[in-house]
A = this chain, B = another copy of it.
């Protein structure tokens, strides 16, 4: 087989599968591992694909650079750890809803290469998902300026045509009396609906969210599990455990 031929084959396999492993390519092309590696290096330098450990993935143009603001945002280490743990809950074959927001965004990069289907209402996390070779569906609807979340009738209707194994939701407040809350009623409706459509619902919340109450209620505490970090006081952890299950993540 000609070099050119083989490289085209690699690209077409990649387009089909979003992501390919080197061993897979060795089998398909009957070439040695070395040769495949050289092909991948060359194709990457041509910007026709992106190499990842163990194989290659489709290249995607960034929708937006991760803004400085996001990087500097509060508790980013904590959020990242929470996101990583949330990603570990996702198993091969799962269908998953991931909410718009900064905490949920950190999940995306840890989902790399998993054979799953993700539905989201957050434009901010689309590129992360695609870069990691995830099959991604987006809700339709009105694009809220600022957060770039999808809301409104269209979004809810879109949502109603899906079922999820797991839903990962962000919230601005988690309070024993008021439950999970968020400022925008429209967003609250999306989050609430997503929880309803999932077998397992998780709210991702760093320690600063506990005790806070926002304008719009999403759900009661007992309607979703909480993923948080050890930064939350032991006392408070125990308090909240009376209302719902709490997954407390250790921070490095």
Residues of A that sit less than 8 Å from B by CB: 2-5, 18-19, 21, 47-48, 52-55, 57-61, 63-64, 67-69, 123-124, 126-127, 129-130, 135-143, 145-146, 148, 150, 152, 154-155, 157-158, 161
Query: What would 20 A/B residue contacts be, using CB atoms closer than 8 Å?
Result: A3-B54, A4-B53, A4-B55, A47-B67, A47-B69, A48-B67, A58-B145, A59-B67, A60-B148, A61-B67, A61-B69, A63-B123, A63-B127, A123-B123, A130-B145, A137-B140, A137-B141, A137-B143, A138-B140, A138-B150
**Could you tell me the distance in whole angstroms from the C-beta of A155 to the nearest C-beta in chain B?**
8
A64–B83 Cα gap in the complex (Å)? 22
Q: Which 10 A-B pairs have the closest CB atoms?
A: A140-B140, A4-B52, A140-B158, A136-B143, A2-B54, A58-B145, A61-B68, A139-B140, A130-B145, A137-B142
**Could you tell me the distance in whole angstroms from the C-beta of A97 to the nearest C-beta in chain B?**
13
Which chain B positions have C-beta within 8 A of A53? 2-4
**Could you tell me the distance in whole angstroms from the C-beta of A10 to the nearest C-beta in chain B?**
14
Contact A136 B126 (CB under 8 A): no
A-side interface mostly: mixed
Q: What is the chain B residue whose CB lies nearest that of A155?
A: B140
Which chain B positions have C-beta within 8 A of A142? 135-137
Q: What is the chain B residue whose CB lies nearest that of A118?
A: B143
Q: Of B5, B140, B143, which is within 8 A of A19 by CB?
A: B5
Contact A4 B57 (CB under 8 A): yes
Which chain B positions have C-beta within 8 A of A146? 58-60
Q: Of B19, B63, B127, B157, which is within 8 A of A4 by CB?
A: B19
Which chain B positions have C-beta within 8 A of A140? 137-141, 150, 154-155, 158
Q: What is the chain B residue whose CB lies nearest that of A159?
A: B140
Which chain B positions have C-beta within 8 A of A127? 63-64
Q: What is the chain B residue whose CB lies nearest that of A121?
A: B140
A68–B54 Cα gap in the complex (Å)? 26
Given A61-B148, A126-B148, A143-B126, answer yes or no on A2-B47 (Cβ-Cβ < 8 Å): no
**Could you tell me the distance in whole angstroms from the C-beta of A125 to the nearest C-beta in chain B?**
10
**Could you tell me the distance in whole angstroms from the C-beta of A118 to the nearest C-beta in chain B?**
9
